Amino acid sequence: MSNLKIYNTLARDKQTFVPIEAGKVRMYVCGMTIYDYCHIGHARMMMAFDVMYRWLMASGYEVTYARNITDIDDKIIKRAVENGETISQLTTRFTQYMDEDTQALGILPPTLVPRATQYVPQMLALIEKLESKNLAYQGEDGDVNYAVRNFHNYGRLSGKSLDDLRAGERVDVNTGKRDPLDFVLWKASKESEPEEVKWDSKWGKGRPGWHIECSAMCSALLGEHFDIHGGGADLQFPHHENEIAQSEGAFGRPPVNYWVHNGFVRVDNEKMSKSLGNFFTIRDVLKKYDAEVVRFFILRAHYRSPLNYSDAHLDDARGALTRLYTALDGVADDGSALDWQGEQARRFAEAMDDDFNTPLAVAALFELASELNKSKSPRVAAQLKALAGVLGLLQRSPQAFLQASVGEVDGAGDAAIADAIAQRAAAKKARNFAESDRIRAELLAAGIILEDKPDGTTNWRRA
């Protein structure tokens, strides 16, 4: 197995990864609340754990990776009512859109994709267990709440004491709560809510709170104690803090060995979010940029670092990825297996074992590309393609990438480009160099770069 170290938010340090069961990893990641299109912040989160999933498998582990779908939530109910549709219709549609977006970005499907509405019985059983341990109570308003002050470890993940948290008023005061820090486990139904979000329980009709959903799903699928729990940095508090309180409170042991959080996407030094209105949907970005360029852009930053979003950074990523594909262009790889003993492969592995350091891993790819540019070696080409494949990169033919069009591209299509190249070849043969230069300039203005060789123009690429 590997020498992997992972930054554990709970320990606030990088720790050597030791799985609970030798050779196997169980990982749970908090996924999407499905009521709208996914934005680049969501892509960054799913990409971060996709890379971890890929590297764990490349390191020889058998990985069970669960990433949930939250398909019952206040925002979902509100949007469905506004649209005049059922909750199921709304969530089914946007789940399909999410799957299309993640597939485009090369994000592998998780092993398990639980939907919250499928696990309501497990949630109710967990709440009953908490109630039996004096960690849950029903308020006067009918909601069932978690009694935070009865759990001695609360605040450990966020690093805040109960008094700090209360002073900061991080939880809304609710008249049905004994303490402002208490959070809801089961929400009593309201007359105005659709019938499809009302489940029977010993506390009356209602629906689960957000936090209990994940505790129930991960324990049902991965057990009461598993290896890795991940999500965005914004989930550290209160969501993951509350998950610990619920799961440890119910089962009497810490539920997770390694808590992992990815950094935010930022625009003009502000966090990208729907509430701020500065978000870009994956779909809108893919109208302008090739999906692999977007993937490469995200992977060039370490998953825990802020990711600064801009067209300039995406343009730079496109240029860099083009250099890698250009190195492969014209060199047929020999199909040999990835050799982990190669110098760049060793550096790649060392980087990935150091808390999934993709920027250093990508640097190793450029070292191989530089070597390939000099040697034109089929063996080096195979090594570069195989190593990049670990990150989900460079799996197309070079020409497929270099000639790919994205969205509304000015200029001609492939057939018209081929026709223009033929006309230019005829002009050169007739020694009409002015016409040859005119055609080349016209294509360049349309974003088409010709690659002349002694035997003529055989290749072209988009700028």
Tens of pLDDT along 104-118? Answer: 999 999 999 999 999
Strand partners, 15: 6
Q: Which portions of the chain are predicted below pLDDT 50?
A: 170-171, 408-411
CA 161 to chain centre: 31
Q: Residues within the annotated binding site for ATP?
A: 274
* In contact, 158 and 164? CB cutoff 8 Å: no
270, 266, 223, 214: which is closest to 242 by C-alpha? 214
206, 195, 193, 231: which is closest to 142 by C-alpha? 206
Give all domains of the chain, ordered by start, each with its CATH number.
5-266 (3.40.50.620), 287-402 (1.20.120.640), 414-462 (no CATH)
Q: Token pair for residue 202? A: 């010993």
Q: Residues within the annotated binding site for Zn(2+)?
A: 30, 214, 239, 243
* Residue type at 58 in one-letter notation: A
State the burial class of residue 169 (Cβ atoms within 10 Å of its Cβ: 0-12, 13-18, 19+): exposed
In DSSP notation, 408-449 reads: S-SS--HHHHHHHHHHHHHHHHTT-HHHHHHHHHHHHHTTEE
> CA–CA separation, 91 vs 303, rounded Å?
28
> Would you tell me how many other CB atoms lie within 10 Å of the CB of residue 64?
18
Q: What is the pLDDT of residue 410?
A: 46
Q: What is the pLDDT of residue 440?
A: 74
> CA–CA separation, 229 vs 67, rounded Å?
10
Q: Write down the mean pLDDT value for the chain.
A: 91
Q: Residues within the annotated binding site?
A: 30, 214, 239, 243, 274
Report the Cα–Cα distance between both ends of the chain, in Å, rounded.
42
Residue found under tokens 């990409």: 47
* Residue type at 185 in one-letter notation: L
pTM score, whole prediction: 0.88
Rounded (10°) CA dihedral 135, 137, 143, 147: -40
CA 104 to chain centre: 12
The H-or-E segment that residue 231 falls in is strand 226-232
The per-residue pLDDT for range 316-336, each reduced to its tens digit, is: 999 999 999 999 998 988 989
Q: Token pair for residue 11? A: 């320990």
3-state secondary structure of 282: helix
Strand partners, 281: 39
> CA–CA separation, 249 vs 140, rounded Å?
23
Q: At a CB cut-off of 8 Å and minimum separation 6, what does 205 contact?
A: 188, 189, 198, 199
Q: What is the pLDDT of residue 273?
A: 73
> CA–CA separation, 153 vs 158, rounded Å?
11
